[in-house]
Amino acid sequence: MRLSRPGLFLLSFLLLYIVQRPTFATQKSYVVYLGAHSHGPELSSVDINRITESHYEFLGSFLASHDVAKESIFYSYTRHINGFAATLDDQVAAEIAKHPKVVSVFLNKGRKLHTTRSWDFIMELDHVGSNPSSSIWEKARYGEDTIIGNLDTGVWPKSKSFSDEKLGPIPSKWKGICQNDTDSGFHCNRKLIGARYFNKGYASVVGPLNSSFNTPRDNDGHGTHTLSTAGGNFVSGASVFGFGKGTARGGSPKARVAAYKVCWPPVGGNECFDADIVAAFDMAIHDGVDVLSVSLGGEPTFFFNDSVAIGSFHAVKHGIVVICSAGNSGPDAGTIVNSAPWQITVGASTMDREFNSYVILSNKVQLKGQSLSSTALPSNKFYPLISAADAKAANVSAEEALLCKNGTLDPRKVKGKILVCLRGQNARVDKGLQAQFAGALGMILANNEINGNEITADAHVLPATQVNFTNGVSIFTYINQTRSPKACITRVTTLLGTKPAPFMAAFSSKGPSTITPEILKPDITAPGVNVIAAYTEAQGPTNEIFDKRRVKFNSVSGTSMSCPHVSGIAGLLKTLHPTWSPAAIKSAIMTTATILDNNGEPVMNASYFKATPFSYGAGHVRPNSAMDPGLVYDLSVNEYLNFICALGYNETVVSIFSDDPYNCPKPPLTLTNLNYPSITVPKLSHSITVIRKLKNVGSPGTYRADVQEPSGISVIVKPRSLKFKKVGEEKTFYVTLKVKEAKAAKDYVFGNLIWSDEKHYVRSPIVVKTA
């Protein structure tokens, strides 16, 4: 508590406060979620004040003081999401959670941006089938007048990706603002039509903030990159230090965009806090966005304690498509986040473009690597080569030195040589910096076994290249077996049409969902490795303090980068099919995806083994096919409420959540029967019959079922054909899955159900595990 005025009154108040609140030291910030609001869409300032006052009164009933409640609350959610964020004792928070009008009370926890940046934990829509052809772009008018919102680190407004050239007036439905009250240099336009910042939740954790935090300006780069990937305008001549040169464009290049800054400098590894995220969702719904792109997440959390799941539900309820990143905690199973069925959850895969820089050993062996180093060594000149383990400083283990951490290298051993470092733990570009500090002329960064063939091209500060695990082993073997090892690193060249592509990024989080294993997650995968998009000019390309270089475009990797690819595609579909629900758009994206790479072989993981739907969901996105899917699996808000009932929540909570009287169905919905575009049965003991319903969104026709059975599982579809006579017609079918033999595999097995009229192929993954 900050005391700003002396006096007896204040002293008396403080004493009263301490008596009433004896556990002041244990206070934390919480979100108190009260469901939905019952008011209409148009709110006056009187209505907003009334709602805020009701929150003061509600909290005051627990604190025995209206004034203390008013001081404790730092957000009052007044538009569509009902609730507030406040600083509370743990005991008070627990008491509030018991109130019948409260859906949930949860800590204001921090979440992470889902970018690997230079750390280890499209614009580029022109490769491996993810590029909308001119036909879909033209038919969808390049996403014109669709409004894409982005919850992230804000936006760099001067980027050419946000130029409003050739755009008409701002859509009349837009209610947002350009929140530049303390940043007079920040301007919106007919492209970047809105920007807001939310930092009270962050401040409640880190302490009071100075005025430099009161701006939606992006001083990080992440938000500019993701927003321009989703909806950036055409920019010719875009590149990173001249590499990858071409015309940059977002998925919906003529869409209007809005930035909602909820992420700030990391504290305890977290950048985006729940209280701010809920506030941003509430305002984005009010402002009138059509699509929300959310490239952030935390640990897997039950939906009513998850700010992104809560905000997403309210957005979807208002017809907004919400796309979320899957997380960067792969390749382990069960690491997926943002797993609510009303979200489109996106994994990350590669594209068919590389920034090649070869390592040539003195024995004439050439080993391919990738880099975006802005400097290069002289061509064909060989330099002494040393493993970082052999260059260790005194009293440092070889294992630590091999990672090229700060203080682990001996400059006397490194100077004038090319240093070979192992990927892992510390930042990739920091390894290069440590090599440079120690006097190295260049660096080779070798993947560890986990990262396999996933290579991230970084803008290193010295001539450097990154090689895959196999090539790294070859280099270390050469060093160990050669008396005077030497090597050269070639200049970077951009290569298109590389194979195989796509394959899954090692960092991309994987299913099954630990929250609801009956729902396959991720839903889809999209390009998320070495994605070039607009960037802030407040940071260098590595985001390291030492990097004084500035770029207008940067290459970044993460599910943060794959997420806005799908957001841009959703924007096109929203323009092309304005009456489609968020679920219909998700279905179109999922059922038209591909599970083959550009060799015509099954998509692989980063170790070049066959990937599964737990990595890629329904497959790699194909926007051209999504434009005309033929059939869709649609879902209404009520069906999501049935799903919530099936999770065990009572009718009272569900009614508060939806702001309408609601009766859970009897018998309750079986989770496997949610009308999802995939079929997942995590505990099949003998047999089960699941129900699905398809809606015709194309021409009349007859669709026939084709099944690719999971190993050891029989699949029977009834009826085997569905005849549709008109648009909007719906047909129900049943799928019976049965264990063929008692010794069936106990691990997950995978198959596909495809409905086809010979023009459209509506494919759903089948995922089964026997009990």
Residue at 521: amino acid letter? K
577: how many CB neighbours lie within 10 A of its CB?
Answer: 19
Task: Label the pairing between strands 761-770 and 679-684.
Answer: parallel
First to last CA, the chain: 54
Q: How far apart are alpha carbons 669 and 67 in whole angstroms? A: 45
Task: Label the pairing between strands 383-387 and 418-422.
Answer: parallel
Q: Active-site residues: which are they?
A: 152, 222, 560
Q: How far apart are alpha carbons 204 and 474 in whole angstroms? A: 51
Q: Residue 638 in 3-state DSSP?
A: helix
Q: How far apart are alpha carbons 155 and 525 in whole angstroms? A: 25
Q: In what order do the strands lie in the sheet with 687-696?
A: 631-632, 687-696, 730-739, 713-718
Environment class of residue 269 by beta-carbon count within 10 Å: exposed (0-12), middle (13-18) or buried (19+)?
exposed
747: how many CB neighbours lie within 10 A of its CB?
Answer: 8
Q: Residue 413 in 3-state DSSP?
A: helix
Q: What are phi and psi of 347, to 5 degrees?
A: -85, 175
Q: What single string gives the DSSP state of each residue in 341-395?
A: TTSEEEEEE--SEEEEEEEEETTS-EEEEE---S--PPTT--EEEEEGGGGBPTT
- Residue 266's H or E segment, with its range, is strand 263-267
Q: What are phi and psi of 283, to 5 degrees?
A: -75, -35
Q: How far apart are alpha carbons 518 and 520 in whole angstroms? A: 6
Q: How far apart are alpha carbons 517 and 304 in whole angstroms? A: 17
Contacts of 397 (CB under 8 A, 6+ apart): none
**Residue 74 near residue 29 (C-beta atoms within 8 A):** yes
- Residue 33's H or E segment, with its range, is strand 28-36
Q: How far apart are alpha carbons 461 and 440 in whole angstroms? A: 11
**Residue 340 near residue 309 (C-beta atoms within 8 A):** yes
Query: How distant, in Å, are the alpha carbons of 251, 454, 680 from that of 745?
Result: 41, 30, 16
Q: How far apart are alpha carbons 150 and 533 in whole angstroms? A: 15
- Residue 314's H or E segment, with its range, is helix 307-317
Cross-strand partners of 196:
260
| Residues comprising the chain, all counted | 771
Q: Residue 417 in 3-state DSSP?
A: coil
Cis amide leading into 682 (omega within 30): no
Nearest alpha-carbon partner for 564 in 191, 228, 248, 315: 228
Cross-strand partners of 723:
702
Nearest alpha-carbon partner for 446 in 477, 413, 416, 415: 477
Cross-strand partners of 409:
392
- Residue 237's H or E segment, with its range, is strand 235-240
Q: How far apart are alpha carbons 416 and 512 in whole angstroms? A: 49
Q: Residue 518 in 3-state DSSP?
A: coil
Q: How far apart are alpha carbons 284 and 80 in whole angstroms? A: 10
Contacts of 215 (CB under 8 A, 6+ apart): 154, 179, 180, 182, 183, 186, 197, 261
